[in-house]
Structure 1
Amino acid sequence: MFVLVNLKTYPCDPVAVAEAVRDVNESTDARVAVAPQAAHLERVAETGAETWAQHVDPIDYGSNTGHTLAETVAEAGAVGTLINHSEQRLKLADVDGAVEAAERADLETVVCANNPAQIGAAAALGPDAVAVEPPELIGTGTPVSQADPDIVEDAVEAAQAVDADVSVLCGAGISTGDDVVAAGDLGSEGVLLASGVAKADDPTAALEDLVAPL
Structure 2
Amino acid sequence: MFVLVNLKTYPCDPIAIAEAVRDVNDTTDARLAVAPQAAHIERVAETGVETWAQHVDPIEYGSNTGHTLAETAADAGAVGTLINHSERRLKLADIDGALRAAERSDLETIVCANNPTQVGAAAALEPDAVAVEPPELIGTGTPVSQADPDIVRDAVEAAETVDPDVAVLCGAGISTGDDVVSASDLGTEGVLLASGVAKADDPTAALESLVEPL
Q: Give the alignment's TM-score, normalised by structure 1.
A: 1.00
User: Deviations along 1:81-132, whole A, 9 cap, x unmatched?
Assistant: 0000000000000000000000100000000000000000000000000000
**What aligned pairs does 1:142-157 form with structure 2 within 5 A after superposition?**
142-157=142-157
User: Deviations along 1:46-78, whole A, 9 cap, x unmatched?
Assistant: 000000000000000000000000000000000
Aligned to 2:203: 203
- 1:111 paired to 2:104: no
User: Deviations along 1:6-63, whole A, 9 cap, x unmatched?
Assistant: 0000000000000000001111000000000000000000000000000000000000
Aligned length in residues = 214
Q: Per-residue deviation at 1:208?
A: 0.3
Distance 2:103 2:173 in 1: 29
Aligned to 1:60: 60
**Aligned partner letter, 2:111:** V
**Aligned partner letter, 2:31:** R
**What aligned pairs does 1:133-212 form with structure 2 within 5 A after superposition?**
133-212=133-212
Distance 1:170 1:208 in 2: 19
Aligned to 2:92: 92
Secondary structure (helix, strand or coil) at the match of 1:174 reads coil
Q: Give the alignment's TM-score, normalised by structure 2.
A: 1.00
Secondary structure (helix, strand or coil) at the match of 1:165 reads coil
Distance 1:104 1:114 in 2: 26
Aligned to 2:126: 126
Distance 2:161 2:96 in 1: 19
Q: Per-residue deviation at 1:173?
A: 0.1
Distance 1:84 1:174 in 2: 19
Identity %: 86
Q: Per-residue deviation at 1:137?
A: 0.1
Moved over 2 A (4+): none
**What aligned pairs does 1:32-47 form with structure 2 within 5 A after superposition?**
32-47=32-47
Distance 1:125 1:64 in 2: 24
Secondary structure (helix, strand or coil) at the match of 2:10 reads coil
List alignment gaps of at least 5 residues for structure 2: none
Distance 1:39 1:190 in 2: 26
Distance 2:201 2:36 in 1: 17
List alignment gaps of at least 5 residues for structure 1: none
Q: Per-residue deviation at 1:197?
A: 0.2
